[in-house]
Structure 1
Amino acid sequence: MTARTVRGAVGATLAAALITGVAACSNPSPGGAADAGGADSAVVGIATEPESLSPLLGYGKDGNSKIFDGLLTHDAEMKLQPALARALPEVSADGRTYTYALRQGVKFSDGAPFSAKDVVFTYRTILDAKTNNASKTELDAVESVEARGEDTVVFTLKYPYAPFAERTVLPIAPEHVAGGQDVNSGDFTTRPVGTGPYLLTGWSKGEKLSFRANPGYWGGEPAVKKFTMAVIKDDDVRLTRLRSGELDAAILPPNLARAFEKDGTRTTFAARTFDYRNVTLPTQHRVTGDLAVRQALDIAVDRGAMVDKLLDGAGKPAYGPVPTGSPWFTAGTERAHDLDRARRILDDAGWKAGEDGIRVKDGVRASFPLWYTSGDKIRQDHALAFASDAKKAGIEIRTEAGTWEVIEPRMKTDAVLAGGGSPADPDFDQYQLLTSSLGGDGFNNMARYDNPTVDRALEDGRRSGDPAARKAAYDTVQRELVKNPGYVFLTHIDHLYVVNDRWEGLGTQVEPHDHGLGSGPWWNVESWKPKQK
């Protein structure tokens, strides 16, 4: 789930109410998704849709927004490349000043020129306390952003923040459009104007987002002239529509993607990810707030079995937000499945098994609810498997399904099968996930985890410009999660996409938790070319 504040949720609700007023919105076809198969069109099936299309509220913050561009972008290898900037930034010797020279001649889709004032407007608006963008903590290092003429922007940082350039893939909004309306609920949230390769032509909420190629795009008009994202939450329905030809491509869970292994007309793409599934262990619940319970659950879970049985091998065990294959991963923090040790931890802490096998301590039964989002098969499977493992240790977990509107008010005390992950930098994910200063702030630090050692390490990690010092800080975080887990991390999940074999230039990047719109083989749809027959 994307991190956002409760205020942000209210803003999103207002934005949703405005969707019906989008003049360009087209009605959904009787089948729900648009017809696929046009020579210059592509229709892809995704599982979720954004709450807003405004970068001021967080849309596209990790890049690939299609409607907008950032100062920089990522290539296929996740290396930073110039976009609205002419080159990578010049960085001062002390690491506190970043200077960007801007590309000249770029225009927004309404014909207005792009300039430095739009960059300044975008960053200042996001950092404004009135803006409901929960990701603004990622820009905490920014002290000021100033324009020098029309084509130069200078960021001054409070402290050397090594990954700052990664944050400048953030899309740039036009001041002349977005600056004259309410940032949280104005028309811009559903009628975006950007400099990107595509223009939004329609958004039928819960059905589809439709785009057409931007003929004035500074990078050249895309060969895919019409691009549609069909919003299909149900995995089986997505599979059916792909098979019927309604979709050119779709994201599918591993067990369904396997159905296309021998299909000579389609290609399956597997994207490596930082996308994890975890269980929040609220510190303000009488059971999950007990350190011994958290430690026991952390080793009672059989992560390997989850990867093999739930993901069909398309993933790996997760021991924290950082995947084991990342250079940021701390070797030695892997946790083996050890049910006997889990039982001993509970015994030593005074949690004694009752007649039905469920443990009790001081009159408190070792039982708590675990919520997962309705219709999400992967989360449901993880929740059920986790509950099964926990019961073997004497802990009763009652799985419940609901929408986020149902789940969110319960997160203070109820466990949630959640997710997250960002490949760009460990700060982007871990700070919002673990810092006590954000405990209870919407979907930030959902467990209300409070560990002073982790808080200090997170600050050290984001404030140091020394790679070795940063690695040491995040090593500390990961080791602390072994001793005091506020979450039980279960798996890192590969994303699988099945695509009609009629385009060239497809591939995948290393993907974050939030995927579908900006990720998948269509991360660079503007570069696709028809396959030569």
Structure 2
Amino acid sequence: MKLTQKILSFIIVMVIFSFSPLFAKTLRVVNFSADIPAITSLDNFDPDSYSVVTQIFDSLVHLDLNGKRVPGLAVSWRMLNKTTYQFFLRKGVKFHNGEPFDAQAVKFTYDYIIDPINKAGNAWILSPIKRIEIITPHKLKIHLKHPDGMFLYRLTMFGAICPPKYIKEKGIQEFFKHPVGTGPFKFEQWDKGKKIVLAKNPDYWDNKMPFIDKLVFKIIPKDQGTEALLNGDVDVNTNLDPKDIERVQEAGFKIMKRLVLRGYWVLMKNQGPLKDVRVRQALNYAVDKNKLIKVQGGGFGVPLASLGKFGEIGKNSTLKPYAYDIKKAGSLLAEAGYKNGFDLDMISIEQAIPLSEAIRADLKKIGVKLNIEIVSRPDWAKRIMEGKRSGSPYPGHMAVNLVDNPIMDLSFHAGLFLASDSPWSIIRDDTFDKKFLFALFQSAFLGHTKQLKLLDKYIHDQAMMLFTFQPVRVFAMKSNITMPGVGLNGHIDYLVFSRTIMQ
């Protein structure tokens, strides 16, 4: 009897302590190297920002780790005609402040985004939306301006739903500082330059998640990320340099890696020497992609022939990468009138330093002098995106970034990098714009993918970018941590941290 009472007392004590801060499970992550521009979807369009946005907010549609569309705040949907979709919303969901989620919240969010006066960060990606029609508190229709083969994918991350009452009461600027969503984690603190702290949402609609109590994004310089993991300052590194895999594994850490819909994108402005397609082709022939994979990807990755990536909707698999051919590159330059070469200015993120330096070394062989400016990813976004939006576009010739495709469809990167009206684009090609819109406006899947493959060929033939390689994304974590996997889209999405288990 006494033994039974002792066991019962021990169990009670353990239960009490399991709910105390002492036993709280805090996951510390290094994912970016500088302060991100924003923590809501309404005031920025930066990839790193969305790693946090997707923890705080939900969208109508989610993607699983293999890129399949799954229910989010919408339990189901159907296309009524080429420009109308009907959504049935999840019931009983509340925002972090207790405000109920309903069709009015969806209408408020999308009305705000598509109103040009608000200059919403995600306005470009959701621009096909014409209007929202509320049928009942949990049923609505979304009417589009035109058919859109990518529409449902647009909603998966960039359509994060916001709380109308909270924003009306507190104001949009307060919302930007203290966001409220329906997601698996609540915003708690942003210590600028140091960390962003999120806390578990105990009332999350998927009551199985999240499995951790706190999620801390630590802001650590890129070149210190591996050491931070090895020294115990963080539990997970979601952007481990592939060259560090062996060292990290030998220290007892677990590794997860996957070829993802990601690329080191070298955007080119079609002005000056780069206006001539022969010059752009010459640059592609001059760069050794296998060397880029070695110096930047640690030997992991595949060369790209165009914008399309393996596993992506719309990739043209018949295209072959530009061969490494210095002689042909020099011949094309001479044919274009640049036998003696020229100078180019390029801005690059710090994560792509080895790649950028390798490109500079290769281009030097054909007489092209490349001047490189290295910045953080958030600063790159400010220089390119904010500069274009404010009327002060980046004055250089090339821009390098590492960007994934969170919505799986080639249209996303085609529009983001190359469409003339995109906040990221530094090129203008009217023929491309027409081909892009024609592919986009195909609502039937087969027609949409067929036109995307033709678009991918045009991008290749016109050498609209300096094509590099599709990398492998590497996660490294402590041995007591189990993560659900690396998403095919290459992004830190809803399911990555909410399903992470700490033992």
Q: TM-score, normalised by structure 2?
A: 0.85
- The separation in 2 between residues aligned to 1:37 and 1:505, in whole angstroms, is 23
Q: What SS class does the counterpart of residue 475 from structure 1 fall into?
A: helix
For 1:268-287, what aligned pairs fall within 5 Å after superposition? 268-284=255-271, 286-287=272-273
Q: Counterpart of 1:79?
A: 68
Listed one character per residue, the Cα deviations across residues 141-173 of structure 1 (whole Å, up to 9, x for unaligned) are 222112122111211122332222222222110
For 1:17-416, what aligned pairs fall within 5 Å after superposition? 40-48=25-33, 49-58=35-44, 65-85=54-74, 87-92=75-80, 94-169=81-156, 170-180=159-169, 183=172, 186-220=173-207, 222-235=210-223, 237-250=224-237, 251-264=239-252, 266-284=253-271, 286-326=272-312, 328-330=314-316, 331-353=318-340, 359=341, 366-373=342-349, 376=350, 378-402=351-375, 403-404=379-380, 411-416=394-399
Q: Counterpart of 1:418?
A: 401
Cα deviation for residue 324 of structure 1 reads 3.9
Cα deviation for residue 193 of structure 1 reads 0.9
Listed one character per residue, the Cα deviations across residues 27-74 of structure 1 (whole Å, up to 9, x for unaligned) are xxxxxxxxx996622111122453122222357769971111111211
Q: What SS class does the counterpart of residue 53 from structure 1 fall into?
A: coil
Q: What SS class does the counterpart of residue 345 from structure 1 fall into?
A: helix
Indicate yes or no: 2:416 matched with 1:432. Answer: yes
Q: Counterpart of 2:501?
A: 529
- The separation in 2 between residues aligned to 1:37 and 1:234, in whole angstroms, is 31
8 Å contact 2:109–2:161 — kept in the other structure? yes
Indicate yes or no: 2:476 matched with 1:498. Answer: yes
Q: Counterpart of 1:9?
A: none
Q: TM-score, normalised by structure 1?
A: 0.81
- The separation in 1 between residues aligned to 2:429 and 2:451, in whole angstroms, is 17
Change (3 A) 1:70 1:37: same
Q: What SS class does the counterpart of residue 256 from structure 1 fall into?
A: helix
The correspondence for 1:481, drawn from 459, 480, 484, is: 459
8 Å contact 1:57–1:126 — kept in the other structure? no
8 Å contact 2:65–2:495 — kept in the other structure? no
8 Å contact 2:435–2:455 — kept in the other structure? yes
Indicate yes or no: 2:433 matched with 1:455. Answer: yes
8 Å contact 1:333–1:479 — kept in the other structure? no
- The separation in 2 between residues aligned to 1:505 and 1:261, in whole angstroms, is 16
Cα deviation for residue 400 of structure 1 reads 2.9
Aligned length: 463
Change (3 A) 1:38 1:233: farther
Q: CA RMSD in A?
A: 2.5
Change (3 A) 1:223 1:172: same
Cα deviation for residue 352 of structure 1 reads 2.5
Cα deviation for residue 435 of structure 1 reads 1.9
- The separation in 1 between residues aligned to 2:435 and 2:121, in whole angstroms, is 21
- The separation in 1 between residues aligned to 2:31 and 2:22, in whole angstroms, is 17
Tell me which amino acid in the other structure corresponds to 1:258: E
Tell me which amino acid in the other structure corresponds to 1:490: T
Listed one character per residue, the Cα deviations across residues 82-102 of structure 1 (whole Å, up to 9, x for unaligned) are 1212x220221x232211111
- The separation in 1 between residues aligned to 2:183 and 2:310, in whole angstroms, is 35
Change (3 A) 1:524 1:383: closer
Q: What SS class does the counterpart of residue 252 from structure 1 fall into?
A: coil
Cα deviation for residue 301 of structure 1 reads 0.8
- Per mean C-alpha deviation after superposition, the further-off stretch among 479-488 and 224-233 is 479-488
Gaps of 5+ in 1: 1-35, 354-358, 360-365
Change (3 A) 1:451 1:386: farther
Q: What SS class does the counterpart of residue 57 from structure 1 fall into?
A: coil
- The separation in 2 between residues aligned to 1:37 and 1:470, in whole angstroms, is 53
8 Å contact 1:307–1:314 — kept in the other structure? yes
Gaps of 5+ in 2: 1-20
